[in-house]
């Protein structure tokens, strides 16, 4: 049986709902991947009695607990004090922690406020967890059944400390049997459609099948227990991939093609030394915006409607012949900028339809790849924001399917 | 003293971190606005013992508890069963709930699966909470100290049921003294800078002062207890506004200018019947993307660098004179599209600097308003994504400051 782990978050900003507790979700995913059994999330505000009560309960209930928040320098940061009261562990000045804080301020040319001295007071007998990107050190200690880890609530600091220090410590302290997670990441296909396609497959009893749909993609997750035979695993991955086909743009935990759609496209663009220009309508700049940090996108142009564009032309073109206008534009851009790839979105519906939650928009996409055009039609539904996001992703996916090898398995 | 309220979330997707628990944050904000004192969030998976244990504890501890999740038709939806076990309340078939579910399926031309019958089994003596947008009804009941409300976990259904039914019920059942929250929303100024500016102000003891910084803005929050004298409140709001000045783009709970920056700009553009075109560099399409659903943005053009553009021109212009190129472009766009407003971003740094977390970019912005130019320089720091987001928002804010009246108080 895997050891139990709980997550405990502290802070008024969490309990009042001003901050959504993304730390709890992130830590849960990390801990499950390590092989823990996640049993509970708790959060309280800056109230010493609540903190002490929760810590005492967890000490009886869990094998491990990761706590975030409450390590700052101000008077409402109470975690260390709560540990003292709950577990009768007095606080002790940690000279090295204090020195690290002094260095932190010195390298930033700032004076260290006196209040920060408090952060160097750690429970006696606890293990200090260094914080390389902030002032608050963390600490870890065993009390009764539970090994407690205390980390700051700032997500970037918390994640770095978890990955650098806590992850290896957990692997050493607990006998963990990590299961293997393989995630098929798909686009352009709904969850029920996916279930229909794979319902004929037989999954051996210990394999857990899961689905996750969000605004950007639908994921199919296969969780294999430790020690699951390799040939069976391979066969199952191959048969799921066969059923889902080209909708799969990445397979995390299996394929070189991994990560979200933008990072898959980024790798393909870089390895092929491609350059891209884009004409957006429905996605209104979002396609370009998603590619930030990549230097293969040279230009992007948004027109509220291709119709506007047609009307402005010196020699009027048949308003219905938007595809012809699109193709002409693509060739022009290709030549003037010197890119091999041009993506164009064309839609002829009006603004009222676009912002109407209940109306569906038809978007015509063109990809000019050297001298050849690929054309595809996509349907966009839902709110304006959802249509925009779908338009950006489906257009990028047209590019992905034209650059990616036939099989990514 | 305000009554205590806890939030209890149920579901494997929450506890495993596949879903971030946004319900807890949303319900906390709503409940605090009503006048509750938020004391704890808890979440467990689909384990009957854990559910029963948490329910029993909360019944002793809280005056009110809002529970989400576990009301679905499948075998891992255990909330009703847990209530039966924890509070000795047998389940009873609710004919009206069943009829509502039948209608739900009938209007969608679907057969109701037999498994849905389970959702009409409600704890005896509980109050049914109708669900107008899904199949799972909610219910409410008193046990020991606590009034429990059970709602589905689907955020849209949960929110609708809370607003239509739970909100008025809570106001009736509890003696609540809602406090008044006034939020100054600022851009272009850091949290420590804000603290410096307002540190000379005296806040009467019962007024709570808070800060919140996220990727888009920094907020200053003033929470006034119920019954706080109006003249003092007005004076305090005026003096905070005076210290922060034009960095304040909205004052939620006070001014007509409220909401996020994009919705403030949207109102100004619509009321003035303005039309806009944009040339983006650093924000790479994100400025246009943020304006989705508004029909006053007619065109947006992204160029990886203004340098590229200068090089492509038939008659070469001095490479250093990017501002002149920008102005020429702005006039051209204004004339060809027929907009009164044009925004242009210019930056001359290279790609390596842009993606380097440790390097700062200088962005020069121009706003052409009819025949006049306004110019401003912004510094962008951090990751490429952060620079992009700051560029989009600061450019939009240049527009906001030129359209908004001198005082929004």
Instruction: Dump pLDDT digits (tens) for A244-259.
Output: 999 999 999 999 999 9
CB contact under 8 A, A302 and B303: no
User: What is the structure's pLDDT at A307?
Assistant: 53
Q: Do B300 and A289 touch (CB under 8 A)?
A: no
Whether residue B198 has pLDDT greater than 70: yes
Select from A67, A156, A285, A297 the residue whose CB has the most chain B CBs within 10 Å, as the one to mutate to test that interface: A285
How much is the pLDDT for A320?
62
Q: Mean pLDDT, chain B, as a whole number?
A: 91
Q: Which of B16, B212, B384 sits opposite A292 (nearest CB)?
A: B384
The mean per-residue pLDDT over the stretch B159-179 comes to 95
**Is the Cβ of B106 closer than 8 Å to some Cβ of chain A?**
no
Check A47 against B29: CB less than 8 A apart. no
The string of pLDDT tens digits covering residues B354-399 is 999 888 888 999 999 999 999 999 999 888 999 999 999 999 999 9
Chain A hits for B14, CB-CB cut-off 8 Å, are: 25, 41
Chains A & B: contacts with CB separation below 8 Å: 183
**Hey, which residues 250-309 in chain A have their CB within 8 Å of chain B?**
280, 283-289, 291-293, 295, 297-304, 308
Instruction: Please give the mean pLDDT across all residues of chain A.
Output: 91
Q: Is B44 on the interface with A (CB under 8 A)?
A: yes
The chain A residue lying nearest B17, using CA atoms, is: A25
* Predicted confidence (pLDDT) at residue A266 exceeds the cutoff of 60: yes
Most confident of A205-219, B164-178, B196-210, B335-349: B164-178
Residues from chain B contacting residue A16 (CB–CB below 8 Å): 28-29, 32, 38
Please write the tens of the pLDDT for every residue from A340-390.
999 999 887 778 889 998 888 889 999 999 999 999 999 998 889 999 999
Confidence at residue B303, expressed as pLDDT on a 0 to 100 scale: 87
DSSP-based three-state secondary structure for B203: coil
Per-residue pLDDT, B165: 97
Q: Which of A38, A212, A289 sits opposite B285 (nearest CB)?
A: A289
- pLDDT (tens digit, 9 = 90+) per residue, B311-327? 445 555 555 678 888 89
pLDDT at residue number B315: 54
The nearest CA of chain A is from the CA of B247 a distance in Å of 22
ipTM of the complex: 0.83
pLDDT in tens, A326-337: 899 899 999 999
Residue A130 scores a pLDDT above 80: yes
**Does the CB of B209 have a partner CB in chain A at under 8 Å?**
no
Q: Which helix (H) or strand (E) holds B219?
A: strand B218-224
Predicted local distance difference test score (pLDDT) of residue B257: 96
CA Rg value for chain B: 27
Average the pLDDT over B236-262 and give the result.
96
Chain A residues with CB under 8 Å of B44 CB are 39-41
What pLDDT does residue A273 have? 97
Residues 6+ apart with CB under 8 A from B282: B345, B347, B354, B361, B363, B380, B387, B388, B391
Least confident of A13-27, A145-159, B209-223: B209-223
Q: Kindly report the pTM of this predicted structure.
A: 0.84
The two beta strands, A276-280 and A208-213, are unpaired
Chain B nearest-CA residue for A47: B39
Chosen for mutation from B183, B302, B351 (greatest number of chain A CBs closer than 10 Å) is B302
Q: How many CB atoms lie within 10 A of CB B305?
A: 20
Query: What is the per-residue pLDDT for B289?
Result: 98
Which residue does chain B place closest to A25, by CA atoms?
B17
Q: CB distance B302–A288 less than 8 Å?
A: yes
What is the three-state SS of chain A?
A: CCCEEEEEEECHHHHCCCCCCHHHHHHHHHHHHHCCEEEEEEEECCCHHHHHHHHHHHHHHCCEEEEECCCCCCCCCCHHHHHHHHHCCCEEECHHHHHHHHHHHHHCCCCCCHHHHHHHEEECCCEEECCCCCCCCEEEEEECCEEEEEECCCHHHHHHHHHHHHHHHHHHHCCCCCCEEEEEEECCCCHHHHHHHHCCCCCCCCCEEEEEECCCCEEEEEEECCCCCHHHHHHHHHHHHHHHHHHEEEEECCCCCCCCHHHHHHHHHHHCCCCEEEEECCCCCHHHHHCCCCCCEEEEEEECCHHHHHHHCCCCCCCCCHHHHHHHHHHHHHHHHHCCEEEEEECCCCHHHHHCCCCCEEEEEEEEECCEEEEEEEEECCCHHHHHHHHHHHHHHHHHHHHCCCCCC
Q: What is the pLDDT of residue B393?
A: 98
Residue of A nearest to B33 (CA): A16
């Amino acid at each position: 049986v895997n050891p139990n782990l709980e997550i405990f978050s502290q802070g008024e900003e969490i309990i009042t709902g001003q901050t959504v507790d993304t730390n709890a979700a992130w830590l849960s995913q990390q801990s499950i991947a390590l092989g823990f059994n996640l049993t509970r999330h708790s959060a309280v505000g800056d109230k010493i009695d609540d903190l002490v009560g929760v810590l005492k309960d967890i000490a009886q209930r869990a094998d491990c607990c990761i706590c975030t928040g409450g390590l700052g320098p101000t008077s409402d940061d109470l975690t260390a004090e709560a540990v003292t009261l709950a577990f009768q562990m007095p606080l002790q000045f940690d000279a090295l922690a204090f020195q690290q804080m002094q260095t932190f301020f010195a390298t930033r040319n700032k004076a260290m406020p006196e209040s920060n001295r408090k952060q160097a007071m750690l429970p006696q007998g606890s293990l200090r967890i260094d914080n390389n990107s902030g002032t608050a050190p963390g600490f870890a200690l065993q009390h009764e059944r539970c090994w407690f880890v205390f980390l700051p609530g700032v997500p970037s600091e918390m994640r770095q400390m978890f990955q650098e220090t806590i992850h290896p410590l957990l692997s050493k302290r607990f006998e963990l049997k990590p299961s293997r997670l393989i995630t098929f990441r798909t686009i352009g296909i709904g969850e029920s459609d996916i279930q229909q396609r794979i319902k004929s497959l037989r999954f051996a009893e210990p394999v857990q099948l899961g689905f996750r749909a969000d605004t950007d993609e639908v994921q199919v997750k296969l969780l294999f227990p430790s020690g699951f035979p390799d040939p069976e695993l391979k066969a199952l991955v191959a048969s799921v991939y066969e059923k889902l086909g080209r909708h799969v743009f990445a397979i995390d935990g299996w394929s070189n093609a991994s990560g979200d759609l933008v990072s898959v496209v980024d790798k393909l663009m870089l390895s092929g030394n491609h350059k891209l220009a884009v004409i957006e309508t429905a996605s209104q700049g979002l396609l370009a915006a998603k590619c930030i940090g990549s230097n293969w996108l040279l230009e992007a142009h948004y027109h509220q409607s291709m119709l506007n564009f047609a009307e402005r032309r010196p020699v009027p073109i048949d308003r219905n012949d938007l595809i012809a206008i699109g193709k002409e534009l693509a060739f022009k851009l290709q030549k003037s900028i010197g890119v091999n790839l041009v993506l164009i979105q064309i839609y002829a519906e009006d603004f009222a339809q676009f912002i109407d939650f209940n109306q569906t928009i038809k978007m015509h996409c063109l990809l000019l790849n050297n001298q050849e055009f690929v054309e595809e039609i996509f349907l966009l539904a839902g709110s304006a924001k959802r249509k925009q996001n779908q338009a950006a992703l489906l257009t990028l996916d047209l590019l992905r399917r034209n650059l990616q090898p036939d099989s990514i398995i």
